């Protein structure tokens, strides 16, 4: 839906909204029994109109790999996956950060193959935008996101998921910045010599070394956001100590609800807020629903033969074969695992708001990179359900706008401002 149409939606009466919008949320858990008048107070504004009037930003999706490996066209409604331009417009999603993910098990933690894999994903995103200049715009800052929205275009942004492609060369940070990358996480699930990951044994004791601190400093100087979603706790605290600009978590949950290393503990959330940053809440059930990860591991063992058989005779790159195996997981997880609801995503938002404040939470779905999704959030088309759940819990329109995108815009502006200051100081 074009931006100019967002502001022209008819406003419904509050009781009509109760009848039409709120039942579309699958599995919402009422916090307490409510009377008709209480329900009326919760929905005294048109949730759907407010959603489509907001600038909505998702900080993390893995669709760049699909663009490269499958040659998909994002201007068609795709029969699978979680994201395309058609469903973005249906769900009111204005801006998407495309994660540039180099799988270290296939391409290494540095070297030519890692660089080539990252460069190819960036080229695929840029080519998609160039093929559809009337519908998409490549954005590198907050003003460009807002301009795209005013023009009725979708904004495409780039983030590096793991610093493998910088190949331990400081000059490559600027190289990727010039290619349009606006955030980078030092690691994915494999540690580097200069930063520890939350996903392996090495990361348990590894923080930033001198080169790692130089990388954070260079990101600050350029105006590239530092992402802590996959780093070890020690690396997290080293980044907080080192960074002179707001720090983000592009797709994480609250560790107080689900105690996994990928989520942030309360003291980390407060530290992130002190930098002026945001934690963008992930939609993956393993990180948002207590106990779900253990059930997933049991199902993973049960379906291992099915997963292996899927690629027994399949040709293609390692990434294409991995994607085929993940499609089996997606199908079987949906059949064998209990549902997790959109309300659970908002539980994490609620917790982060209580701990860190309303200015420090955002959305980071991890769509197209996860093998299970919450009911009511099957794709980007369902994002209005999340807004409806926020309204049901009593968030005001201004608070909802912050969560949906304004907090990210503020962080981007502040990171840019700090970069300008650092560059002026260095002259």
* pLDDT, tens only, 85-144: 999 999 999 999 999 999 999 999 999 999 999 999 999 999 999 999 999 999 999 999
Calculate mean pLDDT across residues 318-345: 93
Residue 313: the pLDDT is 82
Are the CB atoms for 83 and 368 separated by under 8 Å? Answer: yes
Domain holding 262, by residue range, is 3-289+340-426
SS3 at position 194: coil
Best CA proximity match to 362, nearest among 223, 264, 231: 264
Residue 39: the pLDDT is 43
b vs e for 286-319, b when ≥16 Cβ sit within 10 Å of the residue's Cβ? bbbbeebbebbeebeeebeeebeebbeeeeeeeb
The bridge status of strand 57-61 relative to strand 95-101 is parallel
Residue 14: the pLDDT is 32
* Mean pLDDT, rounded, of the chain: 90
In the predicted structure, residue 37 carries a pLDDT above the cut 60: no
In the predicted structure, residue 282 carries a pLDDT above the cut 50: yes
Host H or E run for residue 248: strand 247-252
Residue 427: the pLDDT is 80
Lowest mean pLDDT among 41-55, 236-250, 300-314: 41-55
* pLDDT, tens only, 285-330: 999 999 999 999 999 999 999 989 888 888 888 899 899 998 999 9
- Residue 422 Ramachandran class (φ > 0 left, ψ -120 to 50 alpha, else beta): alpha
In the predicted structure, residue 27 carries a pLDDT above the cut 70: no
Within a domain: 302: no
Residue 95: the pLDDT is 98
Calculate mean pLDDT across residues 35-58: 72
Residue 35: the pLDDT is 36
Within a domain: 297: no
Residue 44 banded pLDDT, cuts 50, 70, 90 = low
Residue 24: the pLDDT is 33
Domain count within the chain: 1
Global pTM value: 0.89
Within a domain: 374: yes
In the predicted structure, residue 7 carries a pLDDT above the cut 70: no
Backbone φ, ψ for residue 254 (5° rounding): -95, 120
Within a domain: 296: no
In the predicted structure, residue 8 carries a pLDDT above the cut 60: no
SS3 at position 337: coil
Are the CB atoms for 191 and 206 separated by under 8 Å? Answer: yes
Within a domain: 118: yes
Residue 88 sits in a domain whose CATH number is: 3.20.20.140
Within a domain: 405: yes
Within a domain: 85: yes
Within a domain: 355: yes
Measured between alpha carbons, how far is 386 from 86 in angstroms, rounded to an integer? 19
């Amino acid at each position: 839906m074009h931006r100019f149409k967002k502001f022209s939606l008819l406003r419904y009466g509050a009781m009509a909204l109760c009848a039409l919008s709120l039942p579309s949320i699958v599995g919402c858990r009422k916090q307490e029994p409510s009377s008709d008048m209480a329900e009326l107070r919760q929905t005294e504004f048109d949730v759907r109109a407010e959603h489509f009037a907001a600038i909505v930003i998702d900080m993390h999706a893995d669709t760049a790999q699909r663009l490269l490996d499958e040659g998909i066209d994002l201007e068609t409604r795709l029969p699978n996956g979680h994201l395309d331009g058609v469903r973005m417009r249906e769900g009111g999603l204005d801006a998407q950060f495309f994660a540039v993910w180099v799988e270290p098990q296939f391409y290494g933690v540095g070297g030519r193959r890692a660089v080539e894999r990252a460069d190819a994903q960036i080229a695929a995103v840029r080519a998609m935008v160039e093929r559809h200049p009337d519908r998409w715009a490549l954005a590198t800052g907050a003003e460009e996101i807002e301009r795209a929205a005013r023009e009725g275009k979708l904004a495409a942004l780039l983030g590096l998921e793991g610093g493998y492609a910088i190949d331990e060369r400081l000059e490559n940070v600027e190289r990727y910045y010039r290619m349009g990358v606006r955030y980078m996480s030092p690691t994915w699930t494999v540690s580097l010599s200069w930063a520890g990951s939350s996903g392996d044994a090495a990361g348990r004791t590894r923080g930033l070394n001198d080169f790692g601190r130089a990388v954070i400093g260079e990101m600050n100087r350029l105006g590239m956001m530092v992402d802590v979603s996959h780093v070890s706790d020690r690396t997290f605290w080293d980044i907080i100590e080192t960074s002179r600009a707001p720090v983000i978590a592009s797709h994480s949950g609250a560790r107080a609800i689900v105690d996994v290393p990928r989520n942030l503990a309360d003291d980390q959330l407060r530290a992130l807020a002190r930098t002026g940053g945001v934690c963008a809440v992930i939609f993956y059930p393993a990180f948002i629903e207590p106990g779900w990860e253990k059930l997933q591991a049991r199902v993973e063992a049960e379906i291992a033969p099915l997963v292996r058989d899927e690629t027994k005779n399949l040709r293609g790159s390692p990434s294409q074969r991995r994607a085929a195996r993940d499609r089996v997981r997606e199908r079987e997880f949906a059949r064998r695992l209990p549902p997790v609801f959109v309300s659970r995503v908002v539980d994490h938002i609620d917790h982060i708001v209580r701990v860190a404040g309303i200015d420090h939470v955002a959305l980071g779905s991890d769509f197209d990179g996860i093998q299970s999704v919450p009911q009511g959030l099957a794709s980007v088309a369902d994002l209005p359900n999340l807004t409806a759940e926020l309204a049901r819990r009593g968030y005001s329109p201004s608070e909802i706008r912050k969560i949906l995108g304004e907090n990210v815009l503020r962080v981007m502006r502040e990171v840019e401002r700090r970069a300008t200051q650092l560059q002026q100081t260095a002259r």
